[in-house]
Amino acid sequence: MSEVRVPEGPTEVASTDGRGRLDLLFEPSGRKVRVPPGVFLFDAASWNGVAIDSTCGGHGTCRKCKVQVLEGLAPITNLDTRAFSIEELRNGWRLACRIEVATDLRVDVPPLMTRPKAATVGVGRKVILRPAVQKRYVELTEPSLSDQTTDLDRLFASLDDLELRPELPVLRSLGRVLRKSDYKVTAVVIDNVLIAVEPGDTTERMFAIAFDLGTTTVVATLLNLTTGAPVAVQSMLNKQQPFGADVITRISAIMMDANALEPLTRLAHETLDELAQAVCEEGGVDPSEVYEIAMAGNATMTHIVLGIDPEALGVAPFIMSTKLFPEVLASEVGVHVHERARAVVFPALGAYVGGDIIAGMLASGMDRDSRLRLFLDIGTNCELVLGNSDRLLATAAPAGPAFEGAAIRCGMRAAPGAIEVVKLSAEGVELRVIGDVEPEGLCGSGLVDVVAELIQQKLIDASGRFVSDEEAARLAPGLAARLTQLADLRVFVLHWQGNVGDVEKSIFLSQRDVRELQFAKAAIATGWHILLEEAGVKEEDLQQVLLAGSFGSYLSPASAVRLGLVPKLPILRIVSAGNVAGEGAKMALLSLRERTGAMTLLEEVEYVELSDRKDFNDQFVDQLAFPV
């Protein structure tokens, strides 16, 4: 291990104070913290709410936690030499997860991409507008010596078609509100609970927020409950990201440190609240006019946001604390809207088929359609549902982080600079980049595209191996020069950065990346093959495949079929369903009938566990090969 002195840093190790602490200053936020010697910079940042990009949770495998040490000494590790050029190392660039703090440090943290590209529109199934939230405007007679009816009884008499019970905060302010407003007030009711009494007529101002609580991205939709129309939509990265890119790494963080649950819960609350404030600002709505929120997330995210230890979800036999979650106040999950606003939490079917999938099934009407359909929500964990109005089967397959851009050498999230579409032809490579900017990396949809295109061009064979230089020159001479070596790694260059021929600085697909995608594809294909067997149907019996979630919205159906990721059906039968988790959450806010439907799905869906099936490994191996 060698050591590099950063030009602006001190020339000697800074001494600690009597308490054995060191100062860390994070720029550009100016956040200053004190930590004991020997902690890793990434951990120190995570503990103190400084977000540093990472998908592995600080384990040194993703090489995304890049920071620049401006002052202080930071030894260069072997991983640093693989992640940075010599010039970058001289300028103080390091991987935060490898910096073991031994001196005072001033560190520049690149901004985290907080508005990733996300699907914010779902299937749009129509619902009967009947929200749990109601507003009733009433004009009451004033009390007198001859009419000493209590304030509450006076109000309830004007709402005699409702059987209401009041909450204590309402009683605390009821008399004052009635008298200040000349007894002209609006009662705010959720189900049979009186949660507020507002002065004057506010019946036109009634809102709710639907959250798709994703592991990577969280989407919030502000709804007008009077009209049923969406008012504003915002998305951002889940702030839990420093603890890992997927649910397993976040569960592992809690298993290794029981105190990690509190910061994970706090970061989830901060994410929800920031989005709530953002959609209210965009929609011109005062947060106090939001009376209900709904959250649809996987079981792990739901457990964490509620402060429930998710450790049992990460180890066999994968047991949830509960399928049905209690109704809580929005403030209890960190969302600062109306002080008595309720939070509706979608139920979960199993440890890896959570509330987001229940919401997705609700939105896509899986239980109401006579057609045989396959629902796929592809991500680090892929959830699958097969069936129709007669029978529904569900399972989950461990796809791994490849579709999120993690574990891919030049991978990144679907943000500006990410290659999202790839087309190969005899003339060369055509790329579509998010934001129409210079390419910076490859996101999941681009990964699927480039592998499918290379299979089409016969530069990748059925086993997933790149062909030899001689075969490449014969099969695709216009592309052969891009198929080359980087040390001992076989790669295909998508975009030359700087000089043509400088592979290391360019954006490329490696043989290892192909293997990552291959394993993910095999897990998913095994999942739907087993569901077809359980249902006693064949691939050709399917009438539609629904691709859900953000990734499904941008995935090319043709590429998915070419890889064997989805059943081989006519392209028109493979449909992007959009953000159905968020759509289901919206439906639950707009319609009590749909909310009941979500609960009913728990009883209607049969869960198929893959991990204890003896045939899973054999089928997985069978699905590794690409169709050619």
Confidence band of 243 (pLDDT split at 50, 70, 90):
confident
Q: pLDDT band at 19, cuts 50/70/90?
A: very low
User: Which of these ranges, 66-70, 502-506, 539-543, has the smallest mean pLDDT?
Assistant: 502-506
What is the pLDDT at residue 119? Answer: 52
Cis peptide before 10 (omega within 30 of 0): no
Higher pLDDT, 568 or 121: 568
Residue with tokens 């998915």: 560
| pLDDT at residue 573 tops 60 | yes
Band of the pLDDT at 208, cuts 50, 70, 90?
very high
The CA distances from residue 445 to 240, 387, 448, 482, 605, in Å, are 23, 26, 5, 20, 30
Other beta carbons less than 10 A from residue 1's beta carbon:
7
Which phi and psi (to 5°) does residue 276 adopt? -60, -45
Q: Cβ atoms within 10 A of the Cβ of 19, count?
A: 7
Run of H or E residues at 522 = helix 511-535
Q: What does the alpha-carbon distance between residue 153 and residue 175 come to, in Å, rounded to a whole number?
A: 12
φ, ψ of residue 13 to 5 degrees: the values are -65, 130
What is the structure's pLDDT at 565? 95
Q: Which whole number is the average pLDDT over 495-521?
A: 90
- Both tokens assigned to 503: 């592979």
- 558: CB partners within 8 A, 6+ apart: 452, 571
Ramachandran quadrant class, 92 (left: phi over 0; alpha: psi -120 to 50; beta: rest):
left
Q: Is 161 exposed, middle or buried (0-12, 13-18, 19+ CB in 10 A)?
A: exposed
Give 74-90 pLDDT, tens digit per residue.
999 988 998 888 999 99
Confidence of residue 20 (pLDDT cuts 50, 70, 90): low
Q: 277 falls in which pLDDT band (50, 70, 90)?
A: very high
State the average pLDDT over residues 327-342: 96
More confident residue, 112 or 351: 351
Q: Return the DSSP state at 57.
A: S
Whether residue 127 has pLDDT greater than 60 = yes
pLDDT at 427: 79
Picking from 11-20, 127-136, 413-422, 480-489, which range would have the lowest pLDDT averaged per residue?
A: 11-20
Average pLDDT on 243-253 reads 85
Confidence at residue 2, expressed as pLDDT on a 0 to 100 scale: 38
Average pLDDT over the chain, rounded to whole?
89
For residue 493 the two structure tokens come to: 């260059």
Structural domains in the chain, sorted by start: 2-108 (3.10.20.30), 133-199 (3.10.20.880), 207-345 (3.30.420.480), 365-401+517-623 (3.30.420), 413-507 (no CATH)
In this prediction, residue 1 has a pLDDT band, given cuts at 50, 70 and 90, of very low
The band of 263, judged by pLDDT with boundaries at 50, 70 and 90, is very high
Three-state secondary structure call for residue 70? strand
Q: Whole-angstrom Cα distance, residue 104 to residue 34?
A: 9
* pLDDT above 70 coverage of the chain, percent: 94
Q: What is the mean pLDDT of residues 442-470?
A: 95
pLDDT at 529: 96
Instruction: Convert 497-508 into a string of H (helix), E (strand) and C (coil).
Output: CCCCCCCCCCEE
pLDDT at position 18 is 43
Q: What is the pLDDT of residue 611?
A: 81
Whether the CA torsion 295, 299, 301, 304 is positive or negative: it is positive
pLDDT over 70 at 360, yes or no = yes
Residue-level pLDDT at 380:
74
Please tell me the distance from the alpha carbon of residue 622 to that of residue 628, in angstroms, as a whole number. 14
| Residue that has been written with the tokens 């295909």 in this structure | 492
Query: Average pLDDT in the 386-395 region?
Result: 96
Question: Per-residue pLDDT averaged across 521-535, rounded?
Answer: 96
The reported pLDDT for the residue numbered 123 is 62
In this prediction, residue 113 carries a pLDDT of: 57
pLDDT at 13 over 70: no
Query: What pLDDT sits at residue 502?
Result: 82
Write down the pLDDT at residue 57: 67
For residues 567 and 623, the answer to whether their CB atoms sit within 8 Å is: no
Which residue would you say has higher pLDDT here, 593 or 43? 593
What integer pLDDT is reported at residue 400 of this predicted model?
76
Q: Does residue 4 have a pLDDT over 80?
A: no
* % the chain with pLDDT above 90: 68
Looking at the chain, how many residues does it have? 628
Q: What is the pLDDT of residue 280?
A: 97
Q: Where are the alpha helices (H) located in 233-305, listed in sequence order?
A: 247-256, 261-283, 299-305
How high is the pLDDT of residue 217? Answer: 85
pLDDT given at position 237? 86
The reported pLDDT for the residue numbered 202 is 97
